[in-house]
Amino acid sequence: MVSPLVYFKDIFSKGILHNSRVQHKPVSPFWVMVRKETGDHVRSWRFIVMLTLIFLTFLGSMYVSLGNIGKAVTNMKDPDRLFIYLKLLTISDGTLPTFHIFISFLGPLLGIALGFDAINAEKNNGTLTRLIAQPVYRDNVLLAKFFGALIVVSVLFFCLALLMIGGGLIITGVPIEPVELLRILAFVVLSIIYVGFWLSLSICLSVSFRHAATSALTAIGIWLFFTVFYQIIVNLIVSSILPGSDYMQPGDIASYNDLLLSFMRLAPNQLYTDAATTLLMPSVRSLGPLTMEQMAGAIPSPLSFRESIMIVWPQVTGLLAATTVCFALTYYLFMRKEIRT
């Protein structure tokens, strides 16, 4: 017969061995690198500067929206007047743009700031060679760089959304509707995808160029091209090919507008603006021009969340496809790159 002292001692020793095995369970190198990249981004000054800019623009747009929320709710001609929390993201008195306009402008800068030196800085510092010498795969390095920055961006946007909902609940006292919550969450996911495209593009440039300054300037140049010059170039090309509006029939004018919108939607900021406007304004029925026959008999009323998702699905798919292409090109270049030189 075993004494109680020996019995409890045996149980205690087994428990210690079990806990030691749990504590020393090996962690995947991928998640170790993700945690390291996330911590580096949070502690970096450039992220703190971008966080400050986005937070200040968020506070400014919320202040303007809250000051005009009363007029928006009492406007009987607006079919979206009952969506109070969506109005906080869409109304303005003209002094400041709305928050999604700010994100379409500052989101690319955030993605570029987090990824322009992801690879070339590691190589110039000599740490990339030592990192690859460890038992890790090359693709894990790229994925850790991408997902580490994307986690930081996701937490930032979700915190801003929760802050907006909480502030609106405290100030207005009106509970949020489930449809509004779904649309706000869809807008947050869309913003993360949009920033993720510029993040993957900046990482691709950091693989292509040796110096971080070159990759940063190239990424900013691409962003300025799509933001400022692309619309001007498209308008000049389309107007030079097609005749003037005085010589066009009504059907030709609709075709001209469709062609112009098709070229404009090659720009990532145009895709994001169209999708964000549709998600935050439920009364938007189409992203293109509508004829009088299509508008005949239509009652101005908000669409359901499912119908809005169906409208913006091509824009979301385009952003995802662009992000995938950039990351695939980054993977190809990085796997063929000589690390030791």
Report yes or no: 264 and 234 within 8 Å, Cβ to Cβ: yes
| Per-residue confidence (pLDDT) for residue 264, from 0 to 100 | 83
pLDDT of residue 153: 93
Let me know: does 275 contact 316? Beta carbons within 8 Å: yes
pTM: 0.85
- Note the pLDDT of residue 150: 93
- Please identify every stretch of the chain with a pLDDT value under 50, giving residue numbers as ranges: 1-23, 292-296
At 16 the pLDDT is 40
pLDDT of residue 24: 52
32 phi and psi angles, rounded to 5 deg: -65, -45
Under 8 Å between Cβ of 101 and 94: no
- What pLDDT score does 232 carry? 87
